């Protein structure tokens, strides 16, 4: 009886989550894995051999300054000011071209996650590429939150006329007991939110950035 009741609870929870997710998609006007036609972005996903979904976006923002986007992205210390999924983004130190950053990730419905990542900027033709990956040394993490199992990806900003082409790719496993379908669900819908927040930050004059060295 107890086993049957537990199963029923799990099934009910999945149905509720599905209903909430589909409702949110209807409200936002977007479908899973695709960009809205009016925001200049296209989203795709590719499962990896390890079962971790890689999500990629490409945006063409004709009215957003590539210089402003680069100013925002090159300094990970200010990312928590405009990315709502970051509760903290603290620069721990630098070695050569790598910046160590401690991040706290937040998402509704699950406990905070924590990770130390290696962040680096790479000049490319007409722009920059910003890579991050989980550091092999997590000793600077507090240990009071769930450790992110995997986080790797990049931002890419390339000048296009007076605007910019923005690329974004991420592979993410939050760690803990989170079902795979929920990871995919939140990752896809969350990706649109991240893109929207970056564009809003670029169009705002309230976020102060450090001058490029």
pLDDT at 212: 55
pLDDT at 48: 65
Within a domain: 208: no
Q: Are residues 22 and 45 in the same domain?
A: no
Q: How far apart are CA 208 and CA 72, in angstroms?
A: 9
Domain count, the chain: 2
Q: How does pLDDT run across 33-59, given as a tens digit for each residue?
A: 444 556 789 999 876 656 677 889 999
Q: How confident is the model at residue 132 (pLDDT cuts 50, 70, 90)?
A: very high
pLDDT at 134: 98
Q: Are residues 23 and 75 in the same domain?
A: no
Q: Are residues 75 and 116 in the same domain?
A: yes
Q: How does pLDDT run across 172-188, given as a tens digit for each residue?
A: 888 988 776 666 666 66
Within a domain: 209: no
Domain that holds residue 12: 1-30
Beta strands in the chain (DSSP E): 41-47, 53-61, 86-95, 98-107, 110-124, 127-134, 146-147, 150-160, 163-173
Q: Are residues 169 and 100 in the same domain?
A: yes
Q: How far apart are CA 193 and CA 18, in angstroms?
A: 19
Q: Which residue has the higher pLDDT, 207 or 1?
A: 207
Task: State yes or no: pLDDT of 112 exceeds 90.
Answer: yes
CA distances for 23 relative to 17, 31, 67, angstroms: 10, 11, 37
Q: How many CB atoms lie within 10 A of CB 156?
A: 19
pLDDT at 188: 62
Q: How does pLDDT run across 73-110, given as a tens digit for each residue?
A: 999 999 999 999 999 999 999 988 899 999 999 987 78
Within a domain: 213: no
Q: Are residues 97 and 168 in the same domain?
A: yes
Query: Dihedral sign, CA of 122, 64, 79, 37?
Result: negative
Q: Are residues 14 and 40 in the same domain?
A: no
Within a domain: 82: yes
Mean pLDDT, the chain, whole residue set:
81
Q: How confident is the model at residue 164 (pLDDT cuts 50, 70, 90)?
A: very high
Q: How confident is the model at residue 189 (pLDDT cuts 50, 70, 90)?
A: low
Task: State yes or no: pLDDT of 159 exceeds 70.
Answer: yes
- Give the predicted TM-score (pTM) of the model: 0.78
CATH, residue 194: 3.30.530.20
Q: Are residues 6 and 91 in the same domain?
A: no
Task: State yes or no: pLDDT of 18 exceeds 50.
Answer: no
Q: Which residue has the higher pLDDT, 7 or 134?
A: 134
């Amino acid at each position: 009886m107890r086993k049957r009741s537990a199963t029923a609870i799990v099934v009910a929870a999945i149905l509720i989550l599905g209903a909430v997710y589909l409702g949110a998609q209807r409200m936002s006007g977007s479908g899973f894995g695709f960009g809205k036609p009016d925001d200049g972005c296209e989203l795709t996903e590719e499962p990896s051999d390890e079962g971790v979904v890689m999500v990629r976006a490409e945006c063409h923002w004709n009215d957003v300054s590539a210089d402003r986007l680069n100013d925002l992205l090159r300094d990970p210390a200010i990312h928590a000011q405009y990315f709502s999924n970051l509760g903290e983004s603290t620069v721990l130190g630098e070695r050569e071209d790598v910046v160590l950053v401690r991040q706290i990730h937040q998402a509704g419905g699950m406990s905070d996650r924590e990770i130390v990542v290696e962040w680096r900027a790479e000049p490319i033709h007409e722009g920059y590429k910003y890579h991050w990956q989980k550091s092999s040394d997590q000793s600077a993490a507090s240990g009071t939150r769930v450790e992110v199992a995997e986080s790797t990806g990049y931002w890419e900003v390339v000048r296009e006329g007076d605007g910019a082409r923005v690329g974004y790719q991420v592979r993410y496993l939050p760690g803990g007991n989170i079902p795979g379908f929920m990871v995919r669900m939140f990752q896809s819908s969350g990706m649109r939110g991240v893109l929207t927040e970056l564009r809003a930050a670029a169009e705002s004059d309230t976020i102060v950035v450090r001058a490029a060295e």
